[in-house]
Chain A
Amino acid sequence: MSHSMHGFHLHAADTAPGDEQADGREVAEGLRGYLIGLGLATLITVVAFFISQTSLVWQPSIPIALFVLAIAQMGVHLVFFLHITTGPDNTNNVLALAFGVLIVFLLIVGTTWIMYHMNHNMMPMERIMEMQR
């Protein structure tokens, strides 16, 4: 049943790479991609956990290092696990991702920036309590 339908799809107009059954070479290639992704992600994670606990480096640099490592690991996941690539059938995915990143950036940076300045401009809590007495 599934094989006859499959044969039909092979000749249909909407067949693209990935629709047909994978052979041994494709399986090996796919596995290699996931293994590279797993290796890189593990490496970055181990480094991040190590750096967060170490006293070997200048302490204020640690949050920045953690940020950079997190963004690098997200990149690894996007490329090797979610297969967001620069291929021609991926243009829309990349554009949607770029828009998503823009919104996330505006939301997080905008919120923390505004709230930080509001905290600065606010009267200290003790003064407010005094005025309410």
Chain B
Amino acid sequence: MSAAQHIAGREIAEHGERRPASKRIIVGYGFWIFLLSDIIMFSAFFATYTVLSGETAGGPGGKDLFHLNTVAIETACLLLSSFTCGVASIGARARNDVMYYGAMAVTAVLGAGFLFLEIREFAGMVAIGAGPTRSAFTSAFFTLVGCHGVHVTLGLLWLLTMMAQVFAKGYRADILRRLLCFALFWHTLDIIWVAIFTVVYLMGAAQ
């Protein structure tokens, strides 16, 4: 541990315990700051969507386009994958291979299932002429929901990378810290999805 890290650790720990905070807590804190900045970026997209959600320019609105059954299955996929991601982090902490790889594989399948449903929904909208260029409403919709989809895609790649890293390097302390960051990222995507299915789908279909 370098002197600078040691001082940083001591400062963070001052609020709570006497001893310097562990690297795991400092890494988690740093990644949490990144996630909050990501959430703030999403909130700008949400603000845009809220303002533009009624501007359909005579085209189809949310009530015509959204299928709540698909959204319910997507929600179930992400929620369950958040749970299995938690199980995977416990498995890694317990050095339990079956629990870790099994839960990570289930998380990957659920995430891929979510992406499949979302891409199918987007393709269906484009096919009936409600693509991103149709109106301010569809532009805002594709930007907001598409940005979340891109995050899930990146998360999926990160997930496979973490499986490979644990396979190649074992449950090393630095690998476990990366895994902590991945778990935080994946859970945060689920939080953003809660906002999306409430503001975009449930409220949009009810209008």
Residues of A whose CB lies within 8 Å of any CB of B are 1-2, 5-6, 9, 13-16, 18-19, 21-23, 26-27, 30-31, 33-35, 37-38, 41-42, 45, 48-49, 52-53, 62-63, 66-67, 69-70, 73-74, 77-78, 81-82, 87-89, 91-93, 96-97, 99-100, 103-104, 107-108, 110-112, 115
Collect the chain B residues with CB atoms within 8 Å of residue A111's CB. Answer: 47-48, 50-51
Check B206 against A30 for contact (C-beta < 8 Å): no
A93 CB to closest chain B CB, in angstroms?
A: 5
Q: Give the docked Cα–Cα distance between A5 and B32 (Å).
A: 27
Residues of chain A within 8 A of B150, CB atoms compared: none
Binding stretch for chain A, among B21-29, B117-125, B127-135: B21-29
> Quick one: which of B29, B79, B173, B199 contacts A19, CB cutoff 8 A?
B173
A92 touching B12 in the complex, CB below 8 Å, given contacts A52-B202, A77-B191:
yes
Listed in ascending order, the chain B residues whose CB lies under 8 Å from chain A are 1, 9, 12-13, 15-17, 19-25, 28-29, 32-33, 36-37, 39-40, 43-44, 46-48, 50-51, 68, 72, 75, 79-80, 82-83, 86-87, 90, 93-96, 170-173, 184, 187-188, 190-191, 194-195, 197-199, 202-203, 205-206
The one of B13, B93, B190 in contact with A21, judged by C-beta atoms closer than 8 angstroms, is B93
